[in-house]
Structure 1
Amino acid sequence: MDTTIVNVALPAMGREFAVDPSGLSSVNVGYLVALAVFIPVSGWLGNRFGTRRTALTALLLFTAASGLCATAGSLAALTAYRVLQGVGGGLLAPVGMTMMLRAFPVAERLRAQQYVMLPTAVAPALGPVLGGWLVDTASWHWVFLVNLPVGLLALCFGLGVLPDFPGRGAARFDVLGFVLAGGGLAAVLYALTAAPDRGWGSGAVLVPLVGGALFLAALVPWELRARHPMIELRVFGDELFRTTQRVLLPTGAAFMGVLYLCPQFLQTELGYDALRSGLATFPEALGMLTASQIVPRVHDRVGPRRLMVVGGAGAALVVVLLTILTADPRPLAFYPATYLLGASVGLLFASAQNAAFVTIPPSRTADATTLLNMQRQTAGAFGVALAGTLAASSAGGASAYRIAFLTLAALCLCASLLALRVSDRQVREAYGAADPSPAPGETAARVRRTAGP
């Protein structure tokens, strides 16, 4: 939720700090860069200190930083506190996914994802709605204060019942790998975030983009030779994981791009306020929740490849519909359109994320989740940068939005075509090799037995 709730509050922050809206980008860029830097190190920390301790420490840091953000008296202080938030968020997301994957055997993960999809789908869509309401009725400080009760409850719950999954040992910290991965990813994400406002030809964009790309290019040979790599790139040797990442990359870019474009179009072209535009895009969360309930029921019969192909093609058709709506705006049509978009993308996401890990051994789960989260952040930033750049192109107005939507539709279609390479046979074989599903109530006992004290 924190990735979307802050955007609505930026104008209010600018008024209080007497800063032009364009100068507020550091509030989000600082968070995003810190997130990127610390995603690669999450796997090492989980292996070194255990997943439970790493997750709870990250959650505590994120919650404390949220409280500090609410007390910020200047833009510089707020940016610094947002960096702390990004550190906590960058550590929390990969290690949390690792714990879920290790707690449930292959045959049970789709059922577990029915619950995981609830915050994944609802929270980002709820952010603009809740943020708009809090800013209008209270102040911008509350977009950070709202994290405190959630974080404290989660900490108490985690301390009481969260099991631990010890890592494979405390390998030496790969300093150069951390610098290349964290620095390269942070520089690329910074450039992608700044590109729509500053232009792709600006030195402020080109220098970090090229520098970050060089860092990431140098990372590959170093990590393949390192005895204890920060990021285990050999995970990409798993064919099913590699293929699903190719599918998720354009899908994530297109989805985040559409979620960025829709509120922009509704506010700039149709005159919606922030709250109303947030409500218009909220149905995508309901669509994703619907898909999360459908996929476990049809997955074994239909197969992940067909679900992913249908999801990608459906998303492309919906985005084309949104393109038509930019020429003939019908405000009520946005509600079913965003719902269908969420349902289509949900079919693809749920199937692809499950398939990505079915052939990954438990000892490599942390490495795979780190790579997945790096890819997710990069895809999202690229999608927003691409959408923002095209929407601000020389075509101007609704024509520019049509070009942007059609480009994102092409990305969805690309994902659908790439999904044809996913092997249902490999997924079936992995399910067949997995332990049979336990009786109700056995999962928790199994976790306690395997996780240790």
Structure 2
Amino acid sequence: MQQSRTGSTDPARTDAGRHTRWSGRLVGLVAVLALVNFVVDSAVTAPLVVLPEMLDHFGTDQAAWLNATAMLAGVMWAPLLGKAADLHGRRRVLVLALLLSCAGALLCAVAPSLWLFVPGRVLQGAALATVFLSVAMVRGLCAPRIAMIVVGIVTSGSAVLNIASRFVIEDLAERFGFQILFLVSALVAAAMAVCVHRVLPEAPVRTPGRLDVGGALLLGGGLVGVLGYVSLGSDLGWLAPGPLALLVGGVGALARWFLVSSRKPDPLIDVRNLGGPLVLTLLVVFLAAGSYQSVLQLIPLIGDVSADQRLGYGLAGQGSVALLLAAPGLGVTLGGPSAGWLAARVGPARTLAGAIMLGTVVTVGMFAGVSRLPVALCCGFLLGVTVGALGTSGFNMAGSLAPPERQGIVSSLVMVMVSIGSVVLNFVGAAVLESTSVVVGGETANSATGVFGYIAIASAAFAAAAVLAVLLVRSGPRLSAVPRHSKES
């Protein structure tokens, strides 16, 4: 790797132009990338706070179109932008992703109807790429041991901001309408694009070849079609023409992508040479990410139920349920950097396995947490630690298995698996709750059977991920430890 001009005089950058210890410049880079990841929350998840207002404004009850569109579009954008980053430069593509998100937010802010609002959400979905592009940049700018710590800070550091932003969003939406959220999101994305362009150096590593746009569209479109059916089918009807068309089109696109890619000399993803350890890592991320997302989805549901309703669970009236909702965010802030620090010492494979073990224990603990607030608070916080540690460890593990010129596309696969796992396990959990619901006082409520069955499924998925994580640790000693460089601190 060639030494970067921007870092040639920096004494902290002695390992082929990469940062090997902390310095003022590195702190600035980390701060910018952490704020860049805040764009994801403002674009993808923050609009849920004003979802009722958006439904009223557009006169629709199709919440799925407003809620899931950005995440599904992010799955489509991920492989395309990941591969483009390896070919044309990670900083350049990161700026592009931020500008696409900015344009989408502006379109959403001025959209008079769903016909313009939904395309705006599709453009906003490009913000999902900022997570894995930030990780790829870190691994290009930092030596391996310090990169693992920085990845944890970058991917988890904005969690506290995400919590605080919820209160600001609610206040602004009440005063100026939900459109102000999208204007703020556009402003944040534009500001971060400028910061990235001015502050971050471009990685000198490039992958020779051409961008397989056709393959990227087939893969991304196929994933969106299948996940769109899973996400939207419950609201629109599993046999409705729209969801069925998404399913058939998605399966067809994925089949076509696999057949075509297996014959191309330079495919978007060389599925024939992914390697066993990387496949194991992606499966672990899929199962664990889906499990913790489903449990996080369950927390507000049990928080709104009082034990006086005698459903066999419920936390309302036992204390501040707001703390229950904030606890995971605080845990994420701790779990990400801690996992990076630990991975630099014992290796990303063992750290990933440890995060999975913790998640399994915490999820099982929710059997008691659904009716006892102190237990729920502890489990919520530790689940947040698991979330931060899993994200950091998953990216670190995948990055350690990829050469420098493929960091973008491999990191994008981790993000894709997180999204797929979240959609699939959330749907499975929701289906369990719906099929076991009961009527109490004339209103439909989730039964204890459904809640405990929901937790059992999440625990089983975590346990399966734990088995795969153990296999990953045993797959080779080089995956379990990181050699200490003599110049690193």
| TM-score, normalised by the number of residues in structure 2 | 0.78
Is 1:361 paired with 2:398? no
Q: How does 1:53-92 map to 2 (within 5 A)?
A: 53-86=92-125, 88-92=126-130
AA in 1 matched with 2:470? L
- 1:409 aligned onto 2:448: no
Deviates more, 1:23-32 or 1:250-259: 23-32
Is the aligned partner of 1:286 residue 2:330?
yes
Task: Flag the structure with higher helix content.
Answer: 1
Q: 1:420 aligns with which of 470, 473, 487?
A: 470
Distance 2:253 2:112 in 1: 36
| Deviation of the 1:80 alpha carbon | 2.4
**2:439 aligned with 1:398:** no
Report Cα offsets for 1:319-370 as digits up to 9, x if no partner: 23323343x3x34543222101112343343333312221311122122122
Q: Which amino acid aligns with 2:177?
A: S
The aligned residue for residue 379 of structure 1 is: 421
How far is 1:127 from its partner? 6.0
| 1:177 alignment partner in structure 2 | 215
| Residue in structure 2 matched with residue 250 of structure 1 by the alignment | 287
1:17-416 equivalent positions in 2, closer than 5 A: 17-19=58-60, 22-86=61-125, 88-119=126-157, 121-122=159-160, 128-136=166-174, 138-166=176-204, 168=206, 171-198=209-236, 200=238, 204-234=242-272, 236-237=274-275, 239-267=276-304, 279-299=323-343, 302-326=346-370, 328=371, 330-331=372-373, 333-396=375-438, 397-399=446-448, 400-416=450-466
Distance in 2 (alpha carbons) for counterparts of 1:135 and 1:176:
40
8 Å CA contact retained: 2:87, 2:210: no
Cα-to-partner distance string for 1:27-57 (whole Å, 9 max, x where unaligned)? 2333233322222211342244322222112
Cα RMSD (Å): 3.1
Conserved? CA contact 1:33–1:189, under 8 Å: yes
**CA 1:97–1:437: 2 relative to 1, 3 Å:** farther
Cα distance, 1:303 vs structure 2: 4.7
Change beyond 3 A, Cα 1:166–1:235:
farther
- SS of residue paired to 1:378: helix
Once residues 417 and 211 of structure 1 are traced to their aligned partners in structure 2, the CA distance between those partners, rounded to angstroms, is: 34
Counterpart of 2:364, as a letter, is V
Is the alpha carbon distance of 1:285 and 1:142 closer, same or farther for their aligned partners in structure 2, counting shifts above 3 Å? same
**Are residues 347 and 13 of structure 1, via their aligned partners in 2, closer, same or farther at CA, if it must alter by over 3 Å?**
closer
Could you tell me the percent identity over the aligned residues?
25
Partner of 1:447: none
Which shows bigger deviation, 283-292 or 309-318? 309-318
Give the superposition deviation at 1:6: 1.0
**Aligned residues of 1:355 and 1:427 also touching (Cα < 8 A):** no
Q: Shift of the alpha carbon at 1:315?
A: 1.7
- Displacement after TM superposition at 1:108 (Å): 2.0
User: Kindly tell me: are residues 296 and 131 of structure 1, through their superposed partners in 2, closer, same or farther at Cα, counting changes over 3 Å?
Assistant: same
Taking the aligned partners of 2:456 and 2:170, their CA distance within structure 1 comes to: 29
Gaps of 5+ in 1: 441-453
Matching residue within 27, 36, 48 for 1:7: 48
The answer to whether the 8 A contact 2:172-2:180 is kept is yes
Mark the CA change 1:164 to 1:8 in structure 2 (over 3 Å): closer, same or farther: same
Partners in 2 of 1:231 and 1:120 — Cα distance? Answer: 30
Matches of 2:163 and 2:252, distance apart in 1: 35
Partner Cα distance (2:71, 2:429) in 1: 18
Q: 1:422 aligns to what SS in structure 2?
A: helix
Q: Which runs of 5+ in 2 are unaligned?
A: 1-40, 307-313, 439-445
Residues 103-132 of structure 1 show CA distances to partners (whole Å, capped at 9, x for unaligned) of 223222222123213346446655655544
In structure 2, what is the Cα distance between the partners aligned to 1:332 and 1:293?
Answer: 25
Match of 2:31 in 1: none
- Take 1:401 and 1:426, find their aligned partners in 2: how far apart are those partners? 41
| Offset at residue 248 of structure 1 (A) | 0.9
